[in-house]
Amino acid sequence: MRVGVPRALAFFRFHPGWDGFLRSLGIAVVVSPPSNRSILEAGLPYTVPEACLPLKLFFGHVRALVGKVDALLVPSIQRFAAGSTNCAKLIGLPDLLQATMEDLPPLIAPDIDLSAGSAALWKAAFEVGKVLGRNPIQLREAAQAGWAAYLRARAAMLEGSLTPAAFDQPIRAPSPPPGGPTVAVVGHPYNLYDPFVNHNLLARLTRLGVDVLTPERLGPWPSAEYWTFEYELVGATRLAMEREQVEGLIAVAAFGCGPDGVILEEVRSLAGQAGLPAMVLTVDEHSGEAGWVTRVEAFVDMLLWRRRGEHVRASEG
């Protein structure tokens, strides 16, 4: 049996766990290709213009898997911690797909609520078992293998040796040359780790000599009062402010994301209170690479000027 996994949205957080779980059951895991213009255009007919770029890409990744797999893994991820909730689109992904596409393979769509502890993981595993036809003992062992794989990946990301962009590829995170500025880059994982979405931002910063600290490298987030990915964004910003070596902050957000529109104001405020130069980069399907490159290079130049004692105000917007 072949199970398809769209390379979008929650893939950039949970794929090591999903992959470990399914492979432990003897399932062949098929991941859609890396995002590109063709995949984006394939998803546009199934979404409204106001939808965010990551959602449009998700539908395109599903189209890339239709006809090539026996089932699709599309969990409804409701919350990661008590006191928070997930984006409504992520919660409703299975329903959105079934309402817009008529030629879908069967969906494996467990409800996942990590705020309920390990019991929620077992419940989700048994929901999957109904579709895959596996017994409870097999499912429990596979769930344990998946959780262990997820924790190993999180540990590797914390030490900086792995990024979610390389979850299914045998490559390691690049290292910048020593002596460059340290910049915290915050945002949702599907905005930070999909090179098509952000015009290869992380690799571009590394080539400019920047030591990039993503939320995964900053550690556990000290806040859980918002939507799930938003509390990570704010928590990572607060952690960045506590690191003396951090010289600047870049926030990556999707145009049309309502929660981001609210939370980015707090991110700007926190950075301003700490005297930390900050820049917001907004992504949509019309974002031009040339403009991004110019802004990123100018931001890094400004950080180097500050090191030399020149007084330059960082741009926001």
CA distance 179 to 177: 7
Domain identity same for 95 and 132: yes
Domain identity same for 121 and 30: yes
The whole domain housing 238 covers 174-307
Q: What is the CATH number of the domain that holds 116?
A: 3.40.50.11890
Asked whether residue 221 is assigned to any structural domain, the reply reads yes
Asked whether residue 225 carries a pLDDT value surpassing 60, the answer given is no
pLDDT at residue 238 in the model: 77
Domain identity same for 149 and 179: no
Section 159-187 average pLDDT: 66
CA distance 74 to 10: 9
Nearest in space to 198 (alpha carbons), one of 126, 298, 263, 291 = 291
Nearest 5°: CA angle at 271, between 9 and 244? Answer: 100
Domain identity same for 135 and 184: no
Among 106, 136, 159, identify where a domain stops: 159
Domain identity same for 136 and 182: no
Asked whether residue 94 carries a pLDDT value surpassing 70, the answer given is yes
Structure tokens at 102: 């008529």
CA distance 75 to 83: 20
pLDDT band, residue 139 (cuts 50/70/90): confident
Section 183-199 average pLDDT: 90
Domain identity same for 138 and 18: yes
Task: Say which residues have a Cβ less than 8 Å from residue 23's Cβ, sequence separation at least 6.
Answer: 29
Q: How many domains are contained in the chain?
A: 2
Which among 52-56, 118-122, 160-164, 269-273 has the top mean pLDDT?
52-56
pLDDT at residue 99 in the model: 92
pLDDT at residue 59 in the model: 96
Model's pTM, two decimal places? 0.85
Domain identity same for 285 and 246: yes
- Dump pLDDT digits (tens) for 253-309: 888 777 777 777 778 888 888 888 889 888 888 777 788 889 999 999 888 888 777
Among 159, 185, 208, identify where a domain stops: 159
* Identity of the residue numbered 292: W
CA distance 236 to 317: 19
Domain identity same for 144 and 71: yes
Section 231-252 average pLDDT: 80
Asked whether residue 317 is assigned to any structural domain, the reply reads no
CA distance 210 to 198: 16
Asked whether residue 221 carries a pLDDT value surpassing 60, the answer given is no
Structure tokens at 58: 């998700």
Q: What is the CATH number of the domain that holds 216?
A: 3.40.50.11900
Section 59-72 average pLDDT: 95
Domain identity same for 71 and 152: yes
Asked whether residue 127 is assigned to any structural domain, the reply reads yes
pLDDT, mean over the chain: 82
pLDDT band, residue 81 (cuts 50/70/90): low
- Dump pLDDT digits (tens) for 196-217: 999 989 888 988 888 888 887 7
Bridge partners of residue 30, in order along the sequence? 4
Asked whether residue 166 is assigned to any structural domain, the reply reads no
Which of 8-22, 218-232, 274-288 bottoms out in mean pLDDT, i.e. has the lowest? 218-232
